[in-house]
Amino acid sequence: MSSGHHHHEQDALIEKYGYDDHFHEHHEGDKFQFNFLTKYIFSMDHKIIARQFLFTGIFWAIIGAAMSIVFRFQLGFPDASMAWLKPILGKWIIINEAGIGTLEPEFYYALVTMHGTIIVFFVLTAGLSGTFSNFLIPLQLGARDMASPFLNMLSYWFFFLSSAVMFYSLFLSTGPFSGGWTAYPPLSALPQASIGSESGMTLWIVSLALFVVSVLLGGMNYITTVLNLRTKGMSLWRMPLTIWAFLVTAILGLLSFPVLFSGFLLLIFDRSMGTSFYLSDIFVNGMALDRIGGSPILYQHIFWFLGHPEVYIIILPAMGIVSEVLAVHARKPIFGYRAMVYSILAIAFLSFIVWAHHMFMSGVNPFLSNFFVVFTLIIAVPSAVKVFNWISTLYGGNIRLNTPMLFCIGFVSMFISGGLTGIFLGNSAIDIQQHDTYFVVAHFHIVMGVAAFFGMFAGVYNWFPKMFGRYMNDTLGKIHFWITLIGAYAVFGPMHFLGMAGVPRRYYLFDKFDAFSGFDDMNKFITIAAIVSFFAQILFVVNFFWSMYKGKRVTSQNPWGSNSLEWTTPIEAGHGNWPGKIPTVQRWSYDYGKDGIEFTQQHVPLRDGEKPSDH
């Protein structure tokens, strides 16, 4: 079948059954993008904005990952000279008379803090959800654009502003904020607490406040678009699971980020107006502060009321992407579509009533903890439903083992491994031993760090042809996958042992502690694995940018044989996505292998005598 012929057939279907909204008669789109600046920089086209989020996310991912390599180097090779990093890190590397360079401990904390902040917020929230919600929501729903393209553009530029402020803070003479990505008071509330708590913290909180605005503007648009601008025939139960995941993610963001904003607001007042929302009984250099009556636990409650939903804001889009990409490349309908949706909703609901499991050891009432333990463990149920459905989708599938598919399978593997250790940590009794150890670090990195990255990679490899009209190199992609998979397990696997032995996280050096001195080799091993994994990511970045210009060209509209609507647009879709009418939807999006036909796209009407497979 020639691609040209196929192309023609598709357009004919849209022409025949499509819906004419007279979009192109108004030329609204063209009016606002007549030059380079309005087309590529201040664009209101969701597809451009998606790519802006992606590029910014990649930029931050490189910085965030590079930071982790520096502090891993400190942990794995504390005696080795870091003088070679002097040209990059400048005064944060102290060189003694013998020429041995050591990392300034204050800066070690700044690196750990920034690594967390950057990866959690800028990469896995903005870079993941910002990219794919923007790109796929209008395309997969048959919409011309977001409900408000203007607010959508603002959403990106608030993120950009937030990024710029945070980036600037890296170069302050007192360094960026260093009190941990959770920014607990009093370290975050008192500028005199440490050098990172000075201007670094001020910029941190300004940056995060701008970030919240970005998330709220974006989320408002995502929800509104999904619920109002679906094309004819696209009922909620016909939507691809990506869209379900993005919708619920946006709802979580809109309900939890304002709470974080409130918490930050009070923190700002504590920092600069002399209030005592979070401060009490504090001594600095032997002198008692006159700030009394505040409660640092109050901050933790507010922070984790966002903080826990935030981990689902990160993982749900990855789950949605994996559900979609897995089905496409297994050439099978997703197993248990409705169960998938209900489990997303259940996870989202539960995510709001488990926040105190981050605070078992910080002085909350142990009896209260019991409720949080129970709800936390219940999350295992919808999570297990999803894992079961992914595996069942793979079972008996006609699997294409290409890069996007490999990353989907890798995601499922990571989600299982990291999910299981969550059951340990969710028990308040076991948490007495495990809290604040490398066991926690291993758990969350696998289940929401690496897993979310795998979902993001699956998405990038899968939708790259739609974004840039070219493929990414599959061989390089597979090398990237295997090194990353093995590397990630090699990094985070051993950390479980460290954690069970009680090795605390965030420590700069362990040579003063006999209990933790036996782990030097393990720390070396982890660091080497981290460096190898890091270089595999450079491979990805090279592949990404090389393929943008030199990759194999896409020659047909629907290269993966996928059912969802984004693949009915022209290879290089312009503003408004479809050149003529909008396709209408005649069926759900997972008709793979139905009646012996490999795939049937959503805008294809039911064949004679065909029963609809709607759920």
Nearer to other proteins, 94 or 297 (CB): 297
> Is the link from the previous residue into 185 a cis peptide, with omega within 30 of 0?
no
> Is 259 a binder of other proteins (CB under 8 A)?
yes
Q: Give the DSSP letter of residue 233.
A: T
Instruction: Kindly list the distances between the CA atom of residue 70 and the CA atoms of 194, 446, 508, 548, in Å, as whole numbers in the listed order.
Output: 21, 20, 12, 30
Looking at 292, 368, 420, 429, which residue binds other proteins (CB under 8 A)?
292
| Positions in 312-371 near other proteins (CB under 8 A) | none
Residues 63, 119: Cα–Cα separation, whole Å: 9
Minimum distance of other proteins from residue 343's CB (angstroms): 23
**Listed ranges 85-93, 203-211, 266-274, 384-392: which one lies at the site for other proteins (CB under 8 A):** 266-274
219 neighbors 254 (Cβ within 8 angstroms): yes
Instruction: Kindly list the distances between the CA atom of residue 247 and the CA atoms of 116, 239, 383, 499, 582, in Å, as whole numbers in the listed order.
Output: 25, 11, 18, 36, 22
Residues 230-264 as b/e (b if ≥16 CB within 10 A, e otherwise) read: bbebbeeebbbbbbbbbbbbbbbbbbbbebbbebb
Instruction: Kindly list the distances between the CA atom of residue 603 and the CA atoms of 186, 225, 234, 563, in Å, as whole numbers in the listed order.
Output: 57, 20, 10, 9
> Is 62 a binder of other proteins (CB under 8 A)?
no
> Is 399 a binder of other proteins (CB under 8 A)?
no
> Is 612 a binder of other proteins (CB under 8 A)?
no
Residue 214 tokens, joined: 């970005």
Amino acid at 590: Y
Minimum distance of other proteins from residue 139's CB (angstroms): 17
> Is 463 a binder of other proteins (CB under 8 A)?
no
Minimum distance of other proteins from residue 448's CB (angstroms): 23
412 neighbors 393 (Cβ within 8 angstroms): no
Give the total of residues touching other proteins (CB under 8 A).
39
Minimum distance of other proteins from residue 236's CB (angstroms): 15
117 neighbors 167 (Cβ within 8 angstroms): no
Looking at 92, 277, 438, 481, which residue binds other proteins (CB under 8 A)?
277
Looking at 52, 188, 199, 256, which residue binds other proteins (CB under 8 A)?
256
> Is 191 a binder of other proteins (CB under 8 A)?
no
Residues 428, 374: Cα–Cα separation, whole Å: 10
**Listed ranges 287-295, 467-475, 570-578, 600-608: which one lies at the site for other proteins (CB under 8 A):** 287-295
Residue 465 tokens, joined: 């042809």
> Is 172 a binder of other proteins (CB under 8 A)?
no
Residues 201, 206: Cα–Cα separation, whole Å: 8
> Is 298 a binder of other proteins (CB under 8 A)?
yes
Minimum distance of other proteins from residue 298's CB (angstroms): 5
**Listed ranges 145-153, 183-191, 202-210, 584-592: which one lies at the site for other proteins (CB under 8 A):** 145-153
Residue 385 tokens, joined: 């439903």
Minimum distance of other proteins from residue 384's CB (angstroms): 30
At a CB cut-off of 8 Å and minimum separation 6, what does 363 contact?
297
> Is 220 a binder of other proteins (CB under 8 A)?
yes
544 neighbors 55 (Cβ within 8 angstroms): no
> Is 372 a binder of other proteins (CB under 8 A)?
no
- Which position has the token pair 């505040």? 294
> Is 148 a binder of other proteins (CB under 8 A)?
yes
> Is 302 a binder of other proteins (CB under 8 A)?
yes
456 neighbors 127 (Cβ within 8 angstroms): yes
**Listed ranges 121-129, 144-152, 507-515, 567-575: which one lies at the site for other proteins (CB under 8 A):** 144-152
Short-list 56, 85, 12, 260, CA closest to 157 = 56
Nearer to other proteins, 147 or 201 (CB): 147
Looking at 261, 390, 516, 592, which residue binds other proteins (CB under 8 A)?
261
Based on its alpha-carbon atoms, the radius of gyration of the chain, rounded to whole angstroms, reads 25
> Is 147 a binder of other proteins (CB under 8 A)?
yes
**H-helix segments, 278-427:** 296-330, 337-350, 366-378, 380-394, 403-425
- Which position has the token pair 């076991």? 430
Which positions from 227 to 246 touch other proteins by CB under 8 A, shown as an x/- string?
xxx-----------------
| Positions in 19-58 near other proteins (CB under 8 A) | 21
Does an H or E element contain 102, and which? strand 101-103
> Is 305 a binder of other proteins (CB under 8 A)?
yes
Q: What is the full DSSP assignment across 430-451?
A: HHHHHTTBHHHHHHHIIIIIIH
Short-list 533, 544, 535, CA closest to 477 = 544
Looking at 85, 151, 339, 467, which residue binds other proteins (CB under 8 A)?
151
> Is 225 a binder of other proteins (CB under 8 A)?
yes
Nearer to other proteins, 99 or 293 (CB): 293
Q: Terminus-to-terminus CA distance in the chain, angstroms?
A: 32
> Is 219 a binder of other proteins (CB under 8 A)?
yes
Which positions from 417 to 456 touch other proteins by CB under 8 A, shown as an x/- string?
----------------------------------------
| Phi and psi at residue 497, to the nearest 5° | -70, -45
**What is the biggest distance separating any 2 CA atoms in the chain, rounded to whole angstroms?**
86
> Is 184 a binder of other proteins (CB under 8 A)?
no
Looking at 38, 182, 295, 362, which residue binds other proteins (CB under 8 A)?
295
Q: Give the DSSP letter of residue 19.
A: B
> Is 221 a binder of other proteins (CB under 8 A)?
yes
> Is 188 a binder of other proteins (CB under 8 A)?
no
> Is 224 a binder of other proteins (CB under 8 A)?
yes
> Is 293 a binder of other proteins (CB under 8 A)?
yes
**Listed ranges 213-221, 391-399, 415-423, 551-559: which one lies at the site for other proteins (CB under 8 A):** 213-221
Nearer to other proteins, 302 or 485 (CB): 302
> Is 266 a binder of other proteins (CB under 8 A)?
yes
412 neighbors 446 (Cβ within 8 angstroms): no
Residues 346, 159: Cα–Cα separation, whole Å: 29
> Is 276 a binder of other proteins (CB under 8 A)?
yes
Q: Which residues bind other proteins (CB under 8 A)?
A: 21, 147-148, 151, 216, 219-221, 223-225, 227-229, 254-259, 261-263, 265-266, 269, 273-277, 292-295, 298, 301-302, 305
